[in-house]
């Protein structure tokens, strides 16, 4: 089982101070290592890799699509058209655009490494 505690222990075992990293950083580290995007924790922590990894606390790609619309990432959508948005289809497109679902400590996140 993937746990945040295990990620923290891995970072400490590699000689890093855990203080500079917030929970989102730790989740990103776990995702990058466990999905084989990186094998060297030093490379992750000493570079810009954490900044190049997007993290969203969403359970599904459809929820991520809703978040993107709410945040205006898909542009300004007039109120009279908002009910016609197909979040499921947008979510499917996002799933093909490098976004991955990652479960940790019974929570679900969606991440993408740029």
Alpha helices in the chain (DSSP H): 4-13, 23-34, 41-46, 61-70, 87-95
Please state the rounded mean pLDDT for residues 3-26. 93
The predicted structure's pLDDT at residue 105:
93
The DSSP string of 77-92 is: --TTTGGG--HHHHHH
pLDDT at 1 over 60: no
Question: Which tens digits make up the pLDDT trace of 28-79?
Answer: 999 999 999 999 999 999 989 999 999 999 999 999 999 999 999 989 999 8
Domains of the chain, earliest start first: 4-113 (1.10.10.1190)
């Amino acid at each position: 089982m993937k746990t945040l505690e295990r990620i923290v222990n891995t970072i400490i075992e590699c000689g890093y101070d855990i203080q500079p990293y917030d929970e989102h950083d730790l989740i990103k580290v776990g995702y990058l290592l466990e999905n084989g995007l990186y094998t060297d924790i030093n490379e992750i922590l000493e570079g810009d890799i954490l900044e190049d990894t997007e993290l969203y606390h969403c359970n599904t790609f459809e929820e991520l699509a809703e978040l993107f619309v709410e945040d205006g990432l898909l542009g300004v959508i007039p109120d009279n058209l908002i009910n016609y948005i197909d979040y499921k289809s947008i979510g499917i497109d996002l799933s093909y655009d490098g976004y991955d679902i990652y479960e940790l400590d019974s929570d679900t996140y969606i991440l993408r490494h740029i």
